[in-house]
Amino acid sequence: MKKIVLFGATGNVGSYMTKYLVEYFASDDYEIIASGRRSTHVFQSMGVEYIPVDITQPEDFKKLPTKDVYAVILLSATIPAYMKKYSAEQYLQTNIIGAYHVLEYCRQVHADRILFSTTIFDISLHAQPPAGLSDHLPPKFSYQGDHAVYVISKNTARELLTHYHDEYGLKNFIFRFPSIYAYSAYPYYYPNGNRILRPIHQFIERAKAGKPLELWGNPHYASDMVYIYDCSQMFARAITANIDGGIYNVGTGTPVSLKEKLETIIDVFSPKDHPSEIIYCPEKPNSGGFCMNIDKARRELGYRPIYDVKKLFEDYKTEMELNRFKELRIQ
């Protein structure tokens, strides 16, 4: 049986992706092995073996299987959104040294391929064309701010992936992430080290109470809204793709306006007898977003996103009610 080892399984993206891959490959000859830093029993109900590994510690890799490892998924990363106190060294240790240890593991067990998540911020200063940002754009990002060393660390890891491909034949599939929507019981993030309630949580909680929602900036500004299970589908298809790899934008190909986003939140979460209203605040700034061109993923991987904005929030609501990964979101 071919083994798929997923590093970062206890993160928000990783936990949902583990669930998705188990279901996607249920009737195929694949075994999912989840791995993350913390100890947990949450994956037992899925029938998934979980092995705690800190990718910055080479000794930890001795716990992992050495035979029949076909694919390795590297989601483990230090990211700005969860850095409570800025430390450039954390980016270097996890995102570069940790990635190197994972690549060495791939080499030693003769894995066929590695699937790696990187950031949209490496091309964030490119102008956005109507068709969306291309997956083959060269890096263009700010060397200032709390994202700079993060982007540098992820780009360095990508260079290591290229080396392991050219030197050892390790196929590599690189996925450029915008914001990935997935319910988390932990509602905060840390821009520039400041704890802030995530806007999506604020909107949903206010909508549930029938309170007004403020829409800042241009209501027609549109960006990609990618649901976790569409993102996971792209990874699943890359595992079985009969190609050498490449870099792929994770997206839907269908931008969603701020107005449509809030209208859908109200439709899904607000009481029908007193739904929230939208208060337009064009004078206030919004944080923007990205539109992704996914033509290459459609063509080479057979990727077909299925979650439009309505279906996304309906499933998001279901996951809120189930709260299946609550244990992993305790901070």
**Encoded tokens for 183:** 């319910």
Q: 42-87: per-residue pLDDT in tens?
A: 999 999 999 999 999 999 999 999 999 999 999 999 999 888 889 9
* Cut 0.85: pTM above it: yes
Torsion from C-alpha of 57, 63, 66, 67, nearest 10 degrees: -150
* Residues 297/234, Cβ–Cβ less than 8 Å: yes
Q: How many CA atoms lie within 13 A of 71 on its CB side?
A: 26
Strands (E), the chain: 2-7, 30-36, 49-52, 69-74, 113-119, 171-177, 180-181, 188-189, 196-197, 213-216, 222-223, 226-227, 245-249, 256-257, 278-281
In the prediction, which pLDDT does 57 show?
98
Average pLDDT value for the chain: 95
Q: How many CA atoms lie within 13 A of 147 on its CB side?
A: 14
The burial class, CB within 10 Å (0-12 / 13-18 / 19+), for 47 is: exposed
Confidence of residue 329 (pLDDT cuts 50, 70, 90): confident
Distance (Å, whole) CA 240 – CA 249: 18
Report which of residues 323 and 191 the model is more confident about.
323
* Residues 76/61, Cβ–Cβ less than 8 Å: no
Q: Sketch the domain layout of the chain as residue ranges.
A: 2-183+225-252+288-308
* CATH number of the 2-183+225-252+288-308 domain: 3.40.50.720
Q: 198-256: per-residue pLDDT in tens?
A: 999 999 999 999 999 999 999 999 999 999 999 999 999 999 999 999 999 999 989 99
126-142 burial, b for 16+ CB within 10 Å, e for fewer? Answer: eebeeebbebeeeeebe
Q: 106-163: per-residue pLDDT in tens?
A: 999 999 999 999 999 999 899 878 778 999 999 999 999 889 999 999 999 999 999 9
